[in-house]
Amino acid sequence: MSRISATAINALRNQLVTATLLTPDSSGYEESLIRWSDTGMKRAGVVVQPVEPMDIRAALLWAQDHGVEIAVKGGGHSTAGTSSSEGGLVIDLSRMNQVTVDPEAKTITAQGGATWQEVDQAGAAYELVTVGGTVNHTGVGGLTLGGGYGWLSGQYGLTIDNLLSATVVLADGNVVKASATEHPDLFWGLRGAGYNFGVVVDFTYQAYVQKNPVYTGVLGYPIEKLESVVEQLNATLANPDPRSGAMSIFAHAPDGSGPIIVVICFYNGTREEGQERFSAFTALNPVLNTLDMVPYPVVNTLQNPQARYGDRKSFKGVFYEPPLDPKFVRSILNDLLSKIEKDPDLAPSAIILEFINMRKICDVPLADTALASRNSTQNGIIFLRWTNSMKDQDHRSWAREIQSKWKIELDARARDDSQGENVPQYINYAEPGDSVVTNIYGANLPRLQTVKSKYDPKNVFHKMHPIPLLTSQISA
């Protein structure tokens, strides 16, 4: 780790107004390094925790003047360490976590360091919701800037489809509001490639009335019923209902009883409607059934026990074209169970697949936002969790092998459907440096390069799927 000089640190300290500045010998520094995954932790040269945009501006300009790498930390869920910097500057937004609600306008504004738990709770106080993440301790910034799927996406689209405006501190220090009428080109780029343009200090979302509880919960099945469960999951997509969604998790049971198939069900309607929607699932006689009517914020806590902080993690995105082939899923599950048997340290790992009604998402024209993956392709995750740092390379290599199998399956289905190969894939489920997931920006890349050249021509923001600079910029 290169050391930033005391003179440079003092220069930064003198430029800050209300921010907290932490160096390796400061109280609170070690706590500031903690991330959701231990693989995402790096020892920063200096950490700045601002409470207002002007201190972010000062930190950005200082870092560029001194040739210091910049990382921005919102929720800190990146397993690849994109919210951390070895020896560089981390702009830690955790103190900027306020959420405000305008009940008359039906909007929710969240600062860049807020989590979805804070958004869910603030909205619920006014019987309002917006489209957020399915794990409530993730940050609003990372999920929003990459697109944002949630349980309400079937009804209201992606998080970016409900983003009304954002306040951004640019690399040159200017603070701008981006919306449909102000800096519309930046607003377009933020919605799907937003990591590349600046530090977003607040987001304003469209909210919707949610007075009633939702029907949700967890079903658990022995792995012998995999084919039957997959058949019913496919049926939810073949018989679409925008108020409905599901997620399947193939893993070892937390109590150590062995492999289990978990299905999280969601229906934004009455108990009777939800029971009818998932009647075929309950008819399979699950060994676990927690389905009930609960307040909306509760559904975004259902994954929290598995998605808890700590340990080392790998997070590889997989993508599939429905209907999902049960034989293929069986082979992947066998691969996972075999890997865990050889290395029990991986026991908390899982394959997670989403079953989301994509019609509302696909109704938005591809050119309307920077997100390139508006198609029927569904998303999933190879989620590995372990403790031994000596196994990092081995486990990540295995995850890439399994990821490659999913890519081959997706490309084969695309050929069969005459859609062509290399379907643009969801940016938030693709770790930087993935050799398998290479098509992120699709047909939107040329326009993104133009927006990048305007708002960040020096490529200050390049930690998360950087947009390739135009040739003229590189020459300059």
Of 184, 209, 234, which closes a domain? 209
Bigger pLDDT: 436 or 10?
10
Contact status, residue 309 vs residue 328, Cβ threshold 8 Å: no
Of 209, 227, 258, which closes a domain? 209
What local confidence, expressed as pLDDT, does residue 434 receive? 79
Of 110-119, 201-210, 324-333, 461-470, least confident by mean pLDDT is 461-470
Q: Is 446 inside any structural domain? A: no
Q: 275 pLDDT band (50/70/90 cuts)?
A: very high
> Are 33 and 113 part of one and the same domain?
no
Q: Is 273 inside any structural domain? A: yes
Q: Kind and range of the H or E element at 404? A: helix 392-416
> Are 221 and 323 part of one and the same domain?
yes
d(CA 265, CA 157): 18
Strand partners, 385: 313
Q: Is the pLDDT of residue 355 over 90?
A: yes
Q: Is 442 inside any structural domain? A: no
Q: Is 445 inside any structural domain? A: no
Distance of alpha carbon 287 from its chain centroid, rounded? 30
d(CA 355, CA 379): 8
Q: Is 399 inside any structural domain? A: yes
> Are 248 and 360 part of one and the same domain?
yes
Residues 6+ apart with CB under 8 A from 401: none
Q: Is the pLDDT of residue 474 over 70?
A: no
> Are 309 and 376 part of one and the same domain?
yes
> Are 128 and 245 part of one and the same domain?
no
CATH number, residue 70: 3.30.43.10
Contact status, residue 220 vs residue 260, Cβ threshold 8 Å: yes
Please name which of 254, 304, 234 lies closest in space to residue 77, comparing C-alpha atoms. 304
Q: Is 464 inside any structural domain? A: no
CATH number, residue 179: 3.30.465.10
> Are 174 and 65 part of one and the same domain?
no
Q: How many distinct structural domains can be found in the chain? A: 3
Task: Work out the average pLDDT over 126-143.
Answer: 97
Q: Is 448 inside any structural domain? A: no
Of 72, 94, 116, which closes a domain? 94
Q: Letter for the amino acid at 268?
A: N
> Are 225 and 341 part of one and the same domain?
yes
> Are 366 and 245 part of one and the same domain?
yes
> Are 67 and 159 part of one and the same domain?
no
d(CA 248, CA 225): 13
Q: Is the pLDDT of residue 473 over 90?
A: no
Task: Work out the average pLDDT over 286-292.
Answer: 98
CATH number, residue 357: 3.40.462.20
pTM of the model as a whole: 0.96
Q: Kind and range of the H or E element at 220? A: strand 214-221
Task: Work out the average pLDDT over 460-476.
Answer: 79
d(CA 469, CA 467): 6
Q: Helix or strand or coil: residue 11?
A: helix
What local confidence, expressed as pLDDT, does residue 3 receive? 84
> Are 223 and 293 part of one and the same domain?
yes
> Are 205 and 218 part of one and the same domain?
no
Bigger pLDDT: 43 or 475?
43
Q: Is the pLDDT of residue 144 over 70?
A: yes
Structural domain containing residue 59: 18-94
* Helices 326-342 + 226-238 axis angle, to 10: 130
> Are 277 and 307 part of one and the same domain?
yes
Q: Is 282 inside any structural domain? A: yes
Q: 475 pLDDT band (50/70/90 cuts)?
A: very low
